[in-house]
Amino acid sequence: MSDFDPVGPNGTNWHPGLRESYIFDRNTIHEIRRAASQGIYDIRGFGAKRKLPHFDDLLFLGASMSRYPLEGYRERCGTDVVLGTRHSKNQIHLKIPITIAGMSFGALSGPAKEALGRGATMAGTSTTTGDGGMTEEERGHSEILVYQLLPSRYGMNPDDLRRADAIEVVVGQGAKPGGGGMLLGQKISDRVAEMRNLPKGIDQRSACRHPDWTGPDDLEIKIEEIREITDWQKPIYVKIGASRPYYDTQLAVKAGADVIVLDGMQGGTAATQEVFIEHVGLPTLACIRQAVQALQEMGMHREVQLIVSGGIRNGADAAKALALGADAVSIGVAAMIALGDNDPAYAEEYAKIGSAAGFYDDWHEGKDPTGISTQDPELAARFDPEQGGRRLNNYLKTMTLEVQTLARAAGKSHVHNLEPEDLVALTIEAAAMARVPLAGTEWIPGHTAANGW
Amino acid sequence: MATATDSEVVDLAVTPLRELNQRLHDAATGGPRSWRIVNPNGAHAIAVGIDAEIDVTIAGHTGYYAAGMNKHATVTIEGNAGVGVGENIMSGRIHVKGNASQACAATGRGGLVVVDGNASSRCGISMKGVEIVVKGDIGHMSGFMAQSGTLVVCGDAGDALGDSIYETHIYVRGSVQGLGADCIEKELKEFHREELGRLLAAAGADATVDEFRRYGSARQLYTFTIDNAGAY
């Protein structure tokens, strides 16, 4: 009998005497070989794939002798969220505390954008444009649409500002705080080129800084201009990549934000350098309490709403983010998967492009077999926006039920009543980042009587 | 009460900016066609978001984003303009009789912006179809990532002109301190002579086409290749 195991890792023969390096593991070796062959950094979509402290490192305590649970199917547990209560004449009313993050037309196909609008609308929440302007598909199918103002300003115009329900000034993105967008030539179709005013087929690099303002004092003036153009009717969000969340939150509030969107490093992207995705920014878990602290110190917690994104996968993640002080969460990668991205039904086609269902992240190449992250009309035609919308609606409602389940177990009649006291951490790192006790102890690393949290 | 043919005077020393801009927005459905704004005192966001064929004269200096996102209106600033004058202009005409600060007509998608004096850095940054004529000089990083439209400079241009430019046409009469990545001097063809002549006439610029040199994209950075790594 041979010592080689025919069903070893990755389907290769394996021998117990072959020890894989922890440092130079097979992914590392592959990347070195790829870089040596191609001479350019790896670009991909998705979010950070490395292991990071995350919501799985937290647990809810639930109710017991001193906390009374709510009946799971009988007692009300509210999930509604009102955004934009600070300066705007109009507010955003969501039925659920989960929104759809900005994903561009260009990165996604027109039918995929339509499906996001359909699903979000069915579930009673908002969707968001992205770095490519506003399409009729998403405006027409989104009851609540947030229009992003990005450094590139592709397609920016006052008419779309006015027909948006809210405006999101994008300062940064969790997948790449300090970096601009990318859309490679395979996805710059005629329509995308026209919307972005670019030559067809080029590798588009968006600016990382806004062209007409620099720094928080300028941003305050920029926000005033947008409010004037829209007659102060639209809530204005400021989206920041998790980098220095305490200070960035305070500066965004000072600049006049109605809502802050805080995107952790697990947040998705359509196309970014791998080195950026995996090595820049803070894990989502590490930034929420800092932002909440900043809001609380300014007397703005719940007055300026906080939306947290970056690796939110299920109701447990959402509930934990809410318990740490967020008003809502936002999903991007998870929404794409709900639509059908990485569907095992396309296993053979993933194999043809050198990938596999569950691993596919080359969204920038425009070859997505599911027709979601592509501008290829034949691939895009595979995707049914009505069915996709229903799937997203199902997923959003499931997540919401999960949040309610956990909130009721903690005795909360509204998901916003969840609080850090409901949580413990499984690791010292998570305890320090989330500022909740290590499970079975009263120890919060970093907590002192002086710092007050 | 002003009639449709009179100039409606708004004194920003006594009228809130919000009221002024609301009235200018309401001009889309009627009201005075000619406006004169006095005592601007460098306020920000004056006359932003107009969507009407009206004439607006601002009698003095303006702060940030004067006439931002303008559609159809003719806006004249009888003074200097702050950062981002005419940002994202869609159509119409903006005339700055003094100097313009940085990011003049940034991301502009249409219309004409004329600066009688100098414009500072990043003039025409990320422009997407606007036509800009600066009768004086422009500062560094002007035309950065300029996508389309035309930038005419009757004076000198600062360093890194047209860095990472796409398809914008740049014409400079004076010296260019330096060209940015992927920006090169290009031939002044008959089409360009006509375009330049038209814009000089439209702006009332005292210059002739033969005095200008044209700059545009070498189109070498349109796709990622390792051979261009030094330029990224």
Whether residue B69 is contained in a domain is answered as: yes
Going by C-alpha positions, the residue among A174, A295, A307 that lies closest to residue A241 is: A174
Helix, strand, coil share (%) of chain B residues, nearest 5: 15, 30, 55
Is residue A146 scored above 70 in pLDDT? Answer: yes
The pTM assigned to this predicted structure is 0.95
Query: Is residue B27, in this structure, part of any structural domain at all?
Result: no
CB contact under 8 A, B103 and A211: yes
State the DSSP H helix or E strand holding residue A159, giving kind and residue range, or none if neither: helix A158-163
pLDDT digits (tens, 9 = 90+) for B163-192: 999 999 999 999 999 999 999 999 999 999
Pairwise CB contact (< 8 Å): B223 & A225 = no
pLDDT at A3: 54
* Max CA separation in chain A (angstroms): 79
Q: Do A286 and A344 lie in a common domain?
A: yes
Residues A36 and A63 in one domain: no
Pick from A7-16, A210-219, A254-263: least confident: A7-16
- Contacts of residue B229 in chain A, CB cutoff 8 Å? 40
Considering the domain architecture, whether residues A32 and A119 belong to the same structural domain is answered as no
- Give pLDDT tens digits for A96-105: 999 999 999 9
pLDDT of B155 reads: 98
Same domain (yes/no): A23, A107: no
Which chain B residues contact residue A225 at CB under 8 A?
44-45, 48, 64-65, 68, 87
Q: How many domains does chain B have?
A: 1
The answer to whether the beta carbons of residues B36 and B63 sit under 8 Å apart is no
Contacts of B226 in chain A (CB under 8 A): 38-40
Mean pLDDT, to the nearest integer, of A96-119?
96
Which pLDDT band holds residue B231 (cuts at 50, 70, 90)? low
Query: Would an 8 Å CB–CB cutoff place B45 in contact with chain A?
Result: yes
CB B10 within 8 A of CB B35: yes
Q: Per the structure block, which two tokens stand in for B94?
A: 């903006």
pLDDT of residue B9: 98
What's the pLDDT score for residue A184? Answer: 79
Q: Which residues of B touch A207 (CB under 8 A)?
A: 126, 144-145
Whether A117 and A17 map to the same domain: the answer is no
Residue A286, Cα to own-chain centre: how many angstroms?
Answer: 15
Q: Do A40 and B226 touch (CB under 8 A)?
A: yes
Residues A177 and A30 in one domain: no
Q: Which positions 88-147 of B are in contact with A (Cβ < 8 Å)?
A: 88, 90, 103, 106-107, 109, 122, 125-126, 128-129, 144-145, 147
CB B4 within 8 A of CB B32: yes
A198 in a domain, yes or no? yes
CATH number at residue B51: 2.160.20.60
CA distances from residue A282 to A50, A245, A331, B100, B123 in whole angstroms, order as listed: 13, 9, 17, 39, 35
Across the interface, whether the CB atoms of B88 and A231 are under 8 A apart is answered no
CA-nearest of A419, A407, A422 to A96 is A407
Q: What value does the mean pLDDT take over residues A347-356?
A: 96
A196, A199, A228: residue with CB nearest B48: A228
Each residue of A67-94: pLDDT tens digit? Answer: 899 998 789 999 999 999 999 999 999 9
When CB atoms are compared, the residue of B71, B109, B125 closest to A211 is B125
Interface check B68 vs A, CB under 8 A = yes
Q: What is the C-alpha separation between A396 and B140, in angstroms, rounded? A: 49
Whether residues A17 and A97 share a domain: the answer is no
Q: Is residue A181 part of a domain?
A: yes
Contact assignment for A39 to B226 by CB distance below 8 Å: yes
For A375-409, the pLDDT digits (tens) are 999 999 999 999 999 999 999 999 999 999 999 99
Does A131 lie in the same domain as A30? Answer: no
The closest of A134, A146, A144 to A110, measured between CA atoms, is A134
Residue of chain B whose Cα is closest to the Cα of A153? B107
Question: Hey, are the CB atoms on B64 and A153 less than 8 Å from each other?
Answer: no
Round the average pLDDT of chain B to a whole number and report it. Answer: 95
Task: For residue A10, name the pLDDT band (cuts at 50, 70, 90).
Answer: low
Question: What ipTM, to 2 d.p.?
Answer: 0.95
C-alpha A374/C-alpha B207 separation (Å) is 49
Average pLDDT over residues A294-301: 98
Confidence band, pLDDT 50/70/90 cuts, at residue B224 = confident
Residues of A with a Cβ under 8 Å from any B Cβ are: 38-40, 152-153, 156-158, 161, 184-185, 196-199, 202-203, 205, 207, 211-213, 218, 221-222, 224-225, 228-232
Residue A50 placed within a domain: no
In this prediction, residue B35 carries a pLDDT of 98
pLDDT for the residue B5: 56
The domain tally of chain A equals: 2
Same domain, A24 and A68: no
- Averaged pLDDT for residues A298-305: 98
Distance from CA of A33 to the nearest CA of B (A): 16
- Cα separation, B13 vs B17, whole angstroms: 9
pLDDT at B103 over 70: yes
Span A18-41, pLDDT tens digits: 889 999 999 999 999 999 998 888
CB-based contacts of A139-147 (< 8 A; 24+ apart in sequence): A139/A163, A140/A114, A141/A114, A141/A117, A141/A385, A141/A389, A142/A116, A142/A117, A144/A92, A144/A94, A144/A120, A145/A117, A146/A99, A146/A102, A146/A237
Looking at the structure, tell me whether residues A20 and A122 fall in a common domain. no
* Closest C-alpha among A391, A395, A369 to residue A381: A369
Give the model confidence (pLDDT) of B132-143 as tens digits: 999 999 999 999
Q: Can you tell me the distance from the alpha carbon of B165 to that of B185, in angstroms, rounded to the nearest whole number?
A: 12
Q: A222: which chain B residues are within 8 Å (Cβ-Cβ)?
A: 64-65
Range with lowest mean pLDDT among A194-203, A342-351, A358-367, B123-132: A194-203
**Pairs of residues, one from chain A and one from chain B, whose beta carbons lie less than 8 Å apart:** 102
CB B187 within 8 A of CB B216: no
On the question of pLDDT at A8 being above 70, the answer is: no
pLDDT tens for each residue of B154-163: 999 999 999 9
Residue with tokens 């292991």: A51
Domain that holds residue B173: 38-231
Scanning every residue of chain B, which has its alpha carbon at the shortest distance from the alpha carbon of A232? B18
In a domain, A213, yes or no: yes
- Any idea which of A41-45, A205-209, A390-394, B203-207 has the lowest mean pLDDT? A205-209
CATH number, domain with residue A147: 3.20.20.70
Strand ranges, E, within chain B: 7-11, 34-38, 55-59, 74-77, 93-96, 112-115, 128-134, 148-153, 169-172, 183-186, 213-217
Both A169 and A73 in a single domain?
A: yes
Contact B109 A197 (CB under 8 A): yes
pLDDT band of residue B6 (cuts 50, 70, 90) is confident
Please give, one letter per residue, the 3-state secondary structure of B133-151: EECCCECCCCCCCCCEEEE
Beta-carbon separation of A213 and B223 below 8 A: no
Range of the domain at A131: 55-434
* Residue B25 is assigned to a structural domain of this protein: no
Residues of A in contact with B223 (CB under 8 A): 185, 202-203
pLDDT tens figures, B39-87: 999 999 999 999 999 999 999 999 999 999 999 999 999 999 999 999 9
Tell me, yes or no, if B17 comes closer than 8 A to chain A by beta carbon: yes
Cβ contact A158–B51 (<8 Å)? yes
- In a mutational test of the B interface, the residue from A225, A227, A230, A232 whose CB has the highest number of chain B CBs within 10 Å is A225
Chain B contact set for A199 (CB, 8 A): 166-167, 222
| Burial tier of A37 (Cβ tally within 10 Å: 0-12, 13-18, 19+) | exposed
pLDDT at A1: 43
Which residue of A157, A196, A212 is in closest CB contact with B90? Answer: A157
* Closest among A363, A374, A331 to A123, alpha carbons compared: A331
Q: Is residue A390 part of a domain?
A: yes
| pLDDT for the residue numbered A202 | 85
In a domain, B86, yes or no: yes
- Average pLDDT of the residues of chain A: 94
CA distances from A323 to A126, A249, A295 (A): 21, 18, 15
E strand or H helix at A395 = helix A385-409
Q: Is residue B216 predicted with pLDDT exceeding 50? A: yes
In the predicted model, what is the mean pLDDT of residues B22-35? Answer: 96
Q: H helices within B14-167, ranges in order?
A: 17-26
Check whether residue A13 and residue A133 sit in a common domain: no
